């Protein structure tokens, strides 16, 4: 089995103050974030709207950390180039976002950025078995996507299953978990095999002076 990789924390800017996003990104960068998790929602694939590539482009100068862009968008293929140009380092699409996942992932890879695939809570891990050679990240959703601040759905068996699928590839694929992550649920998902934790509410609570402490609490 490949050596375990250290746990990385990806604060979701969905929970940031949208009126000062640049400042918020600088604050979580300084507080020790590993990735900056950017939730793009289209009001169609998920029942909520956030922002698009122009906002990501404006945020790019505020941090050198990995921009981890989670596209909750369908259809998605026509937007990939825009997010690459805006400065995304990882582009994650949903398994459920269209009938041609393999082609979508090929398209992301053709831009020389990392490709991720995300699974809604009800989508079985086996549905991505035949694209594992194309992905750099698998994102297991532990809430139904669309909103921050929801309760964690304990899909620990699915996380463990994806961990096995990743280990079988012998490639360094991130196993990211997103939704309802707190210091308590973090412990459980890490034990199940996760190595990147997305957290919105748990990082941004209590204001900027608490971000470093909040991030640290998720790691330990
Ligand atoms: C949910 C988003 C998450 C969300 C997590 O649709 O993909 O990234 O911001 O928020 P919390 O950590 O509050 O569950
Ligand atoms: Zn997300």
Q: Which of 102, 95, 89 is nearest to 72 (CA)?
A: 95
Of the chain, the end-to-end C-alpha distance in Å amounts to: 23
Smallest-distance ligand from the CA of 92:
2
What confidence tens digit (pLDDT) does each residue in 40-69 have?
999 999 999 999 999 999 999 999 999 999
Instruction: Decide: helix, strand or coil at residue 112.
Output: coil
Dihedral sign computed on CA atoms, order 22, 70, 68, 197: positive
* Buried-exposed string 104-127: b where 16+ CB fall within 10 A, e elsewhere: bbebbeeeebbbbbbbbeebebee
**C-beta 84 within 6 A of ligand 1:** no
5 or 97: which leads in pLDDT? 97
Q: Rounded to the nearest whole angstrom, what is the distance from the C-alpha of residue 69 to the centroid of ligand 1?
A: 12
Q: Is the pLDDT of residue 1 over 80?
A: no
Residue with tokens 């090929």, as numbered in its chain: 106
What confidence tens digit (pLDDT) does each residue in 158-202 have?
999 999 999 999 999 999 999 999 999 999 999 999 999 999 999
**C-beta 135 within 6 A of ligand 1:** no
- Spell out the domains of the chain, with CATH numbers in brackets: 8-219 (3.20.20.70)
Separation CA 71–CA 212 (nearest Å) = 26
The residues facing 114 across adjacent strands are: 90
**C-beta 70 within 6 A of ligand 1:** yes
Catalytic annotation, residues = 39, 178
pTM here is 0.97
């Amino acid at each position: 089995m490949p050596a375990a990789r250290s746990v990385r924390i990806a604060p979701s800017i969905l929970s940031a103050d949208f009126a000062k996003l640049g400042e918020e990104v600088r604050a979580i960068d300084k507080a020790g974030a590993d990735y900056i998790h950017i939730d793009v929602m289209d009001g169609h694939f998920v029942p909520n709207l956030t922002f698009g590539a122009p906002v990501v482009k404006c945020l790019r100068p505020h941090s050198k950390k990995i921009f981890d862009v989670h596209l909750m968008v369908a259809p998605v293929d026509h937007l990939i180039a825009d997010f690459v140009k805006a400065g995304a380092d990882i582009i994650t699409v949903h398994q459920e976002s269209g009938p041609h996942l393999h082609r979508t992932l090929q398209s992301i890879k053709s831009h020389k950025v990392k490709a991720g695939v995300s699974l809604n809570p009800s989508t079985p891990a086996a549905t991505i078995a035949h694209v594992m050679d194309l992905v750099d990240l698998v994102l297991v959703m532990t809430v139904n996507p669309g909103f921050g601040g929801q309760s964690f759905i304990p899909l620990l068996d699915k996380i463990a299953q994806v961990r096995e699928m990743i280990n079988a590839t012998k490639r360094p694929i991130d196993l990211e978990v997103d939704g309802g992550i707190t210091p308590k649920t973090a412990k459980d998902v890490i034990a199940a095999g996760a190595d990147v934790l997305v957290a919105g509410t748990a990082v941004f609570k209590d204001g900027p002076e608490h971000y470093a402490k909040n991030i640290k609490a998720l790691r330990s």
